[in-house]
Structure 1
Amino acid sequence: MNQLNREVFQVDIQGVFTFAIQGDASILNEYIIERIEQKLKQHQPERSKQRFEIRIHLENNDQTMLDAFLKQCNSNNFIDLLNAQINSDIVLLIWNYDIPVNHIKSSATSFFEYINSIYPTLIDTHRFIIIILANVDISSQSEINHHILGEINGLTVLDTPNKYELLELIPWAHQLFQEQNMEDAQIQQYLNRLKNQKGYFRPTYQEINAIIRELEGGTKRYG
């Protein structure tokens, strides 16, 4: 999580910020994007957050990202759309499922430049606009993708972490379990299950989800 902390969570000024991430859709949405939004809220707790998202595929690749957002939000004007969200930070999320990144480089650049160009004209300029290009499971050419995306001016490419930082994870999990009014012995059992994953990202993430399901009344896996 060190790169995410450095590139996203230490942002302390308002403006437009663009990021690209890549990997499994559930991990991107439920962990990485969720953490970005949580940290955004921590920076400006007095403000609400509004997320707009689109999904792009090869079959609709002829549609610009701007047009896709306008269609999804049932709006004719993007400035009016953003101006309607007074006192709200904005997250614009673009889910790319099957378009090679070299094919969307031009359209992504145009969209990012457009958002930057209209930002000074908005009624509320004391806010964040976070644009996230989430490339789902396009992993066979991850190094090439990283290089191509890195050529887009102003775009920060975030690596999906291989491991959790246990020094961050365990205190967070301990607090979560305490909030459930769990007994100390049960808390320690769950913490040990997490520690047994050695911080490796996917098994730890899956174990967290399994524990959450148990806390919500689902089937207990073991222990």
Structure 2
Amino acid sequence: MQFLTLNETNKLLSILLRNEYLQVAESSTRLALLENCNIECSSIDLKKDQKFFIPDLYRFLSKNKVKDGDIEELALIIFLKHILSMNFIFGFADFEEDFITRVIQKWEIQKNSKLIEDRDQIRTSLNRNRALYSASHTSQDNIKLDSGIITDFDLKDIVVQLNKKVNYQGAFAFSVGGNAILLEQYIIKRVKQEICFLTKKQTDYYDIQIYKNSILSSKEIEQKFINKYKIEVLSDLFDCQANTNVLAIIWNHDIPLKQIQPIAEAFWNEISDSLSSILIRQRRCFILIWVNAKHKSLRGFPKLKAPEKFVLSELEAWFYGHFKEKGIEEKQIEDYLTRLKMHDGHLVATYREMDQMIHEISGRLYAL
């Protein structure tokens, strides 16, 4: 089944074609890789040159299913999940890993929709409703919704935690872990918004990305900030002429918790001590957030915990009110709410559905 657009297919093929491990893999290595995925593909020539082998493999994986436990799964998804789990061998860049993850999520969203209705019936119904909506809502052509509708929804526990800990001056640190897409596009956006509201000041935002091959000590974390923002010491972020707070976010992509925990503690102890006098004298805040993409939160730091699932009744009420306020007709609203409920409150899948709906209503293209 073809579930990716042509552009998405080309991007995925490009990632696989330029992967160094796959480039040098011999036929025996290719065979072992596919056997580890329980994929039998005798129709593919494993000795072909990389530029021919990968497209042939993609076509085969996109059209065939394999057993995954008690269920059948698309071979392509089994393959992509396997190579992500072995990324210490394949060495995908962060943006490549994120794209492959989104491909898997797109398939899972599409697959899960079958549990509610036949896929073709849903597609026909949605296309018909969108056509009717487009033809009969000329007065709604100027409807504009932004992602703030999503960002403002829920996350009550995170808001409470920030309210309890963040004051008008001083240094404060938090930790959060989970899915990278959800963290970046939903949770961190809300955190930025809440901190501005709590401190009643403009907040300057700084961030760095850290990886296991580049960080061995707390000093190297500080050096990352220094190099990126062209400063001499971290305290230079507090320009004496400005009356703003500072929010610093450290994105840990692949450093194991056991390794990053002592480094994080040492960095926080050093930096909070060195900044304390500046913060008191200038009556400003420094907020540090450790983001562990794909990992749990760090110990010893207040946790910003996202809900395990969205509560469907709250989700429906929230979007119904906003859609009604924008003048969207009742039938169209019900169609949107049905799409939201299809994912049973699953955080990532529901978030992506919300984001896609906002793009559709605002007349913008939605990208994977």
Please give the range of the TM-score, normalised by the shorter of the 2 chains.
0.7 to 0.9
Alignment of 1:189-208 (within 5 A): 189-208=335-354
1:40 to 192, 195, 213: 195
Whichever residue aligns with residue 96 of structure 1, its letter is N
Structure number with the bigger relative contact order (C-alpha 8 A, sep ≥ 6) is: 1
Alpha-carbon shift at residue 93 of structure 1 (Å): 0.5
Instruction: Give per-residue Cα distances to partners, 1:33-60, cap 9 Å, x unaligned.
Output: 111112222224x421211000011221
1:163 to 267, 288, 309: 309
1:93 aligned partner: 249
1:5 aligned partner: 159
**Structure 1: any 5+ residue segments left out of the alignment?**
none
Check conservation: 1:16, 1:129, Cα contact below 8 A: yes
Name the count of aligned residue pairs.
207
1:53 to 207, 222, 228: 207
Per mean C-alpha deviation after superposition, the further-off stretch among 202-211 and 75-84 is 75-84
Check conservation: 1:89, 1:129, Cα contact below 8 A: yes
Q: Residues of 2 paired with 1:191 and 1:32: CA distance? A: 22
1:186 aligned partner: 332
Between structures 1 and 2, the one with greater strand share: 1
Alpha-carbon shift at residue 165 of structure 1 (Å): 3.6
Check conservation: 1:83, 1:124, Cα contact below 8 A: no
TM-score, normalised to structure 1, is 0.79
Whichever residue aligns with residue 205 of structure 1, its letter is Y
Distance 1:185 1:131, change over 3 A: same
Between structure 1 and structure 2, the one with the greater Rg is 2
Q: CA RMSD in A?
A: 2.6
Q: Residues of 1 paired with 2:309 and 2:348: CA distance? A: 8
Check conservation: 2:204, 2:247, Cα contact below 8 A: yes
Distance 1:119 1:181, change over 3 A: farther
Instruction: Give per-residue Cα distances to partners, 1:29-87, cap 9 Å, x unaligned.
Output: 1111111112222224x421211000011221146211111111110022222235723
1:124 to 282, 285, 295: 282
1:21 to 169, 176, 185: 176
**Structure 2: any 5+ residue segments left out of the alignment?**
1-154
Alpha-carbon shift at residue 168 of structure 1 (Å): 4.7
Q: Residues of 2 paired with 1:121 and 1:43: CA distance? A: 20
Check conservation: 2:249, 2:291, Cα contact below 8 A: yes
Per mean C-alpha deviation after superposition, the further-off stretch among 80-89 and 28-37 is 80-89
Matched residue SS, 1:83: coil
Check conservation: 2:311, 2:345, Cα contact below 8 A: yes
Check conservation: 2:253, 2:293, Cα contact below 8 A: yes
Q: Residues of 2 paired with 1:39 and 1:172: CA distance? A: 19
Per mean C-alpha deviation after superposition, the further-off stretch among 72-81 and 113-122 is 113-122
Whichever residue aligns with residue 228 of structure 2, its letter is Q
2:122 aligned partner: none
Check conservation: 1:52, 1:93, Cα contact below 8 A: yes
Check conservation: 1:194, 1:208, Cα contact below 8 A: yes
Alpha-carbon shift at residue 20 of structure 1 (Å): 1.4
Check conservation: 2:237, 2:246, Cα contact below 8 A: no
Check conservation: 1:64, 1:107, Cα contact below 8 A: no
1:105 aligns with 2:251: no
Distance 1:161 1:102, change over 3 A: same
Distance 1:124 1:191, change over 3 A: farther
